[in-house]
Amino acid sequence: MMKILDFDALSPAEFLNRDIQELEDVSAAVDQVIREVRERGDAALRDYTRRFDGAELQDLWVSAEEFDAARRAVDPYFMETLKEAAENIRRFHERQRHNDFVLTDRAGIVMGQRWTPIEKVGICVPRSPEAFPSTILMNVIPAQIAGVTDIVIVTPPRPDGSISPEALMAAELAEVTDVFKIGGAQAVAALAYGTETVPQVDKIVGPGGIFVATAKRKVFGRVAIDMIAGPSEILVLADGKTNPKWAAADLLSQAEHDPLSSAVLVTDSRRVAEQVQAQVEAQLEVLPRKDIARRSIEENGKIIVTDSLEKAVEAVNRIAPEHLELCVEDPFALLPRIRNAGSVFLGRSTPEALGDYFAGPNHTLPTSGTARFSSPLGVDDFMKRSSFLSYDRPALTACADRIADFARREGLEGHARSALSRKES
Residues catalogued as catalytic? 322-323
User: DSSP of 235-260, one letter per residue?
Assistant: EEEE-TTS-HHHHHHHHHHHHTT-TT
Strand partners, 262: 233
The answer to whether 386 touches 114, Cβ cutoff 8 Å, is yes
Q: What is the 3-state secondary structure (H, E, C) of 67-111?
A: HHHHHHHCCHHHHHHHHHHHHHHHHHHHCCCCCCEEECCCCCEEE
DSSP, res 223 = B
Distance CA 209, CA 189 (A): 15
Of 148, 121, 149, 153, give the one whose Cα is nearest residue 137.
Answer: 153
Per-residue burial over 148-177, b = 16 or more CB atoms within 10 Å of its CB, e = otherwise: beebbbbbbbbeebbbbbbbbbbbbbbebe
Number of other residues whose CB lies within 10 A of the CB of residue 190:
31
What percentage of the chain's residues is helix, strand, coil (to nearest 5)? Answer: 50, 15, 35
Strand partners, 205: 123
Angle at 51 between CA 206 and CA 140, to 5 degrees: 15
Strand order in the sheet with 383-391: 101-103, 109-117, 383-391
Residue 233, CB-side half-sphere exposure with 13 Å CA sphere: 29
Amino acid at 223: V
User: DSSP of 171-209, one letter per residue?
Assistant: HHHTT---EES--HHHHHHHHHH--SSSPP-SEEE----
